[in-house]
Structure 1
């Protein structure tokens, strides 16, 4: 994918689990010529990740190269791959988020799409606010970590 997903967009998810993909994100996905995406749980945060099919296939290849003999890797694979759901962006520009993923990420009415480079995260607005809020000490720790990475 040549362009990156960036920015935040508030949307509403309906009772059936359908949510509109922001136009900018939708255009980037469709520019690949493939309307298929993969929605996957993220084991470390209460959100759903959306990958364009090509990005997902690259990510899945990397994951498949990891040893399933390592119990932690196996657990990660089990959570991520068994929970992944392939869908297609429909004509109105929506994706269908399965009930299980909605429950895991606490997605109800108001949701937030967050661009994360080569994938997108879907959060409940409240969970996203908690995830990005920091204490003064956490700000200093993050600044130090970014300085070490030269960012």
Structure 2
């Protein structure tokens, strides 16, 4: 199985699982904050970015096995999972099937109702911009994100 992953930092392993349609580098800002104490793996979901998709029928076991395959390949026995949106659902599936491999589970905006293709009720006219926003995010490359980090950091 081919996994596409970027790592940032050193220390205890964390895997960041992005929202659907995004690459693993969606978690770049989180990884940057954690880099002094944690090694964060920014993993593209199966079939997104450069990660190979899951062959055959997809169910919770297949998804959990996909992530277990990555942990085995990276020689990670136990991990903290950070999952955003659909990445959170994937993290839950993994925790359900392999609870002994999960140290901590952090879910970001994982549970919400199913959105229609264009969610007018939730976002009004702004909903028309969401497909363009998704396209724009997919076109942003990592070097641009790194240049933007100083502006995106929370100032204390």
TM-score by length of 2: 0.28
Compare the two structures and name the one with the higher strand fraction. 1
Please give the TM-score of this superposition, normalised by the length of structure 1.
0.29
Bigger fraction of residues in helix: 2
